[in-house]
Every structure is written in C-alpha cells, then in structure tokens.
Amino acid sequence: MLKSLKVKSALLSIIFLVILLGIWEGANQAPTDTKPLTEYEMLMGGASQEARVPPPSEVIELGFKELSDPFYDAGPNDKGIGIQLGYSIYRVMVGFLLAAAIAIPIGFLIGMSPLMYNALNPFIQVLRPISPLAWMPLALFIIKDSEISAIFVIFICSIWPMLINTAFGVANVRKDWINVARTHQLSPLQTAMQVILPAAAPTILTGMRISIGIAWLVIVAAEMLVGGTGIGYYVWNEWNNLDLASVIFSIFMIGVIGMLLDMMLAYAARWVTYQE
Amino acid sequence: MKHHFLQIENLKKSYPGPDKDSELVIFENANFTIDKGEFVCVIGHSGCGKSTILNILAGLDEASDGIVIMDGKEISGPSLERGVVFQNYSLLPWRTALQNVTFGVQARWPEWSKDKVQEHSLRFLELVGLKGAEDRKPSQLSGGMRQRVSIARAFATQPQLLLMDEPFGALDALTRGVIQEELIKIWEESKQTVFMITHDVDEAILLADRILLMTNGPKARIAESVKVSIPRPRKRTEIIHHQDYYKIRNHLVDFLVDRSKQDITVLNPKDASPKIIDLAS
C-alpha cells in the first residue's frame, strides 16, 4: 500500500513535470516566418533573436553543457557554474558556522538564565527584523572588504533563528530531566552536556535548518550587490549579458543546492531526534 | 535519646497567601524517624503534601521550617546519597535502558572504568528482569518496563536512602503486582533504607515495615505510625491469610475514610511525633 502510494506520487510528479515543460516549450517557440526575412533580419541571424523566454529544451541543453565542465575558469567574467556555486556555498558555510559558534552558546545562556533572557531580549527583538542586506553599507564601510562583508551579512541573518531556537529549546527542557541531573549531583557543565544539550538538540537543529535556508536566500541578493564571484553575481551578470537560458539554469541550480543544504541538516537532525 | 538514621524534625512547608501576612500551610509539625534498612510507606489523600516531603528529603524542594538529619548531618540540596524513583519514571529518552542506568552509575563512581560501569549496570537491569531489553530506548518499552529501568537506576547507585514517589501509580494492577515482587527481591538483596509514597493500602502492607498516615491538607500532619507486624519474606498471595492483615488494613482504610478528615490527631504533646500503633496479636 505504502509502496504503491510512493510509486503513484512519483508517476504523478513526472506527469506534472512533462505538462509544465510542454506548455513552456510550446508557448515559447521561435516565431515562424510568414514573409521573407528582411536584410537586417538576415544579418541579425533571423527571427529567433526576437525577445522571448528560452524554451526548456534550450535550458536543458545549456545545463548539460555547463555541468559537463562546471569548473572551467576563463577569466573574471567567464567561470563555470561549479566555481560560482562553490564561492556561494563557501560564504554561506563560513557565515553560518561563525553564527552557530556564537548563537548556540549565547542561546544556552539565555535559555538557562531568566536574567540574561530579560536583559538581552530587547536587543534581539530589535535586531532580528532588520533585513540582513540593510547591514551591507555599514559592513562595507567598517570591514572595507566586499568578500568579508558578504560573509558578515550571512552571519547576521543566520544568527537569529539559531539563537532563538537554542534559547527556547534549553528553557523548555523537561523539569523532570533537570531533576534527574540534580539528584545525581551533576555539575552545571555536566548537566549542560549530558542532559540539556541532548534534550534541546532537536530544537537547536531546527533553528540551524531555518538559518541555513535564510542564509542561502540572502547570499544570492548579497552577491548581486557585492559582485565579483558567486551564484548571485552570476545570475545578475547573465542578465546583463541577456543570456536568459543561463539565468534560468542558475535559478534551477540555486534551488537544487538549497534543497541539498536543507537535506543535509534534516539528515543531521535524524541523529539527535528522540521519541518521548 | 536513641540515634536514628534519618530524623525529620518539625518540618513545615507553606506558601505566601493572598494577603500580606497570611500563609498557606501545606503541612506542619512533621516529625518522624527512619532507621537504617527500614522500609517506610506514607499514605494520605492527594494534596496533603506527601510529595513535598519527599522532594524536601531529595533536596529538590526547600522546607519552610524544620530540619532533616541523615546519618547525623543536616541535609542540604540533592545528593547521590539520596536516590529518587520518580512517578513518571523520568528516563532520558535519548538513552537506551542500559545507558539510563550507566548515567547514574557514572555519576556515582566517576573513577570506575567503562567496563565496570557497564557490568554493574547490567547486573541491576537483570535484577529487575530486563535482560535482553538493555539496548531499547524508553519509547520502545512499556510503562512497567520503564519503571523497572528507573528502579534499576536508583538501586544501582546504592544510595543510603531511596525515595520513591508513587512508583507504581501509573501502572495497571497486574504489572504493579509483578514489579512489587521484584522490588521486594531487590530490596531484600540490597537492604536499602526506603521511603515510599503510595495511594495503595495493600501495596503499603506488602512492602513496608511501618506505614505513616497523613491527615488531609491544608495544615496536614503525620498522625500515626502503624507497624506492619507480618513477617518477611512476604508474598502477595500469602499475606492476606495472616491474622494481622485485615486488622492493619481495616485500621488504614478507616483512617483514610473517616479520621483523616478531622484534626483529631493525638500527637504526643512533647515532641509532636505520630502516635505509634502496633496491631500485632
């Protein structure tokens, strides 16, 4: 029953995909010529130069070409998609891990101490809703390096979900489990490592998952601003080149990588999830 | 004055009332003693403060007044010398049954090698009849099995005083009977001093050397201390034929139904200790 459900849904997905691509392909065919081409049109390569969204066949063809050599580097304006994605993933990872290194300990502190919670809460509430890109000018001015500024923007956008989820998870550890630690005379550090951390781990992982999702959303915009390298820059650059097939292909790749990052953390969450 | 292993003197718990000077007294003048190796049960209606007394003994709660002296020293805060079996088992769900026991053993003897901790913990899991289930997580165990793990964890740390807060309250009658007998077995082997809260009169008679009876709250007191004069080893099926069984049982039920409501407690005026009842014929 379950297996047949899986098979059915997979089949349905494929049907949807075919319909979607079919409509897209059909709606964006190069116009057929009704009258002979003018001399100008001949010079410009025919009517296919008319502005239109490239059909999927073109995008797929380009995709194969790009993915068959993803890491080529032919100068600053012509790098393989793999290199561009690599830069973006690198920035996201550095910013995300720095944020985790700060958010999780501070979240622990806030979760364990109502005093610290009340003292830091106003800061969090004001800083959290700020669009990470709003920090960009300030970051560029203070850091004076576009590369590090992009990483800073990732850092600042991924810190809040992790901070808040860690604090929430730590504050809501069942009192019974804390009492078990107390009756076993565990030190505060032992209690944190042996009871609170495993108890709050699923909530912390959820925060990390939200963070990396936001970080991946933000890096594209940040790279459009700072330029140079990265998938966000690549999308914008291809738009300037009016290469819409590349734009569509990179949009698709952004989705795939985002999904992989999320799956990675979902897989990690499976290790720390427990059933009560 | 005779020196007891555990002495509870004038214990009182109260909370601030709605007005400035009023206070809500849960219980007061709680005086009792427990000797080494004794199994003492407390019975009383809900809300009389039984669990609060146990939590104070465990060090998880603080008394408003009075002191608890164990082995000549006043207790303060939780200690590994006072093990607790909680009503809701309080197992750590991310650890297996065995790891829940080693959690206690490692805390008790941090200097022990891994093998020794493992071996010691396994022995106690076997004692409660959980051999073969040591690698299962609490979510994969039945309620009875979970409480067995919890009992194994408490006994494995070999505390001087074992506190049990209605350990079988959430179990069905059949499971309860089986675990009661396992508890007797493990208790007879270890000769622990046990302080246990229960709602079940028959359970108290089966397990306890002495039963403390509490009046209803607020301002609850420990009114009587009833000696269970049935010789050990006891078996559920056999004790009901003992001549003292129904005398004790009727006395307990009578107290719970009628006398616990009124404050007719005939306390010893000198030290407010509970009236000692011995129904042995």
Residue B16: per-residue pLDDT: 87
A-B contacts at Cβ under 8 angstroms: 54
In terms of pLDDT, which residue wins out, A53 or A21? A21
A201 lies in which domain range? 56-66+79-270
Q: Are strands B275-278 and B222-227 parallel, antiparallel or unpaired?
A: parallel
Tell me how far CA of residue B257 lies from CA of A86, A203, B107, B199, B215, in angstroms.
Answer: 77, 48, 43, 13, 11
Q: For the sheet containing B6-16, what is the strand order?
A: B23-34, B6-16, B65-70, B73-74
> Is B139 within 8 Å of A180 when comparing Cβ atoms?
no
**Which portions of chain B are predicted below pLDDT 50?**
none
What is the torsion angle, in degrees rounded to the nearest 10, for the CA atoms of residue A121, residue A122, residue A123 and residue A128?
80
**DSSP 8-state code for residue B159:** -
Residue B268 three-state SS: coil
**Which of A179, A198, A275 lies at the smallest CB-CB distance from B139?**
A275
- The DSSP code sequence of chain A is -HHHHHHHHHHHHHHHHHHHHHHHHHHTPPPPPSSPPPHHHHHTTSGGGS--PPPHHHHHHHHHHHHHSTT-B-STT-B-HHHHHHHHHHHHHHHHHHHHHHHHHHHHHHHH-HHHHHHHHHHHHHHTTS-GGGGHHHHHHHH--HHHHHHHHHHHHHHHHHHHHHHHHHHTS-HHHHHHHHHTT--HHHHIIIIIHHHHHHHHHHHHHHHHHHHHHHHHHHHHHH-SSSHHHHHHHHHHTT-HHHHHHHHHHHHHHHHHHHHHHHHHHHHH----
CA B226 to each of CA B43, B183, B211, B230, B252: distance values in angstroms, whole numbers, following the listed order: 11, 21, 5, 12, 8
Other C-beta atoms within 10 Å of B84: how many?
A: 27
pLDDT of residue A196: 96
Kindly report the CATH number assigned to the domain that includes residue A185. Answer: 1.10.3720.10
Mean pLDDT score across all residues of chain B: 88
Per-residue pLDDT tens over the stretch A35-48:
666 777 666 655 55
Contacts of A34 (CB under 8 A, 6+ apart): none
Checking if the pLDDT of A3 tops 90, the result is: no
Shortest alpha-carbon distance between residue B158 and chain A (Å): 12
Cα dist. A124→A107, A130, A155, A156 in Å?
11, 10, 15, 12
Q: Is residue A19 scored above 80 in pLDDT? A: yes
Cα torsion B114, B120, B122, B127 to 10°: value is -170
Q: Return the SS3 of B224.
A: strand
- List Cα–Cα distances, B162 to A80, B40, B165, in angstroms: 69, 10, 10
Report residue A231: phi and psi, to 5°. Answer: -70, -30
B195: closest CA among B154, B229, B223?
A: B154
Q: Do B90 and A176 touch (CB under 8 A)?
A: yes
Which pair of structure tokens corresponds to residue B22?
């009023």
Q: Quick one: pLDDT band at residue A76, thresholds 50, 70, 90?
A: confident
Domain count, chain A: 1
Residue A266 neighbours by CB distance under 10 Å: 12
Omega of the bond leading into B218 within 30 degrees of 0 (cis): yes
Pairing of strands B65-70, B23-34: unpaired
The ipTM value here is: 0.87
What are A's interface residues with B at a Cβ cutoff of 8 A? 176-177, 179-180, 182-186, 190, 194-195, 198-199, 272, 274-276
Please give the span between the terminal C-alpha atoms of chain B, in angstroms, as a whole number.
Answer: 28
pLDDT digits (tens, 9 = 90+) for A143-168: 999 999 999 999 999 999 999 999 99
* Confidence band for A141, pLDDT divided at 50, 70 and 90: very high
Q: Where are the domains of chain B?
A: 1-76+160-168+192-281, 82-158
3-class secondary structure, B39: strand
- Of the residues A183, A186, A189, A203, the best mutation for testing chain B's interface (the one with the most B CB atoms within 10 Å of its CB) is A183
Which residue among A176, A183, A272 places its CB closest to the CB of B78?
A: A183
Min Cα–Cα distance to chain B from A168, Å = 19
> Is residue A23 in a domain?
no
Q: Enumerate the β-bridge partners of residue B211.
A: B41, B226
At B90 the three-state DSSP class reads coil
Topology classification of domain B1-76+160-168+192-281 = Rossmann fold (3.40.50)
Which of B90, B94, B108 is opposite residue A180, by nearest beta carbon? B90
**CB spacing of B104 vs A195 below 8 angstroms:** no
Predicted pLDDT at B93: 95
Ramachandran bin of B99, using left for φ above 0, alpha for ψ from -120 to 50, beta for the remaining angles: alpha
Percentage with pLDDT > 90 across chain A = 75
Alpha-carbon Rg for chain A, nearest whole angstrom, is 25
- Determine the 3-state secondary structure of B33 from DSSP: strand
Q: What is the mean pLDDT of chain A?
A: 90
Chain B partners within 8 Å of A190 (Cβ):
107
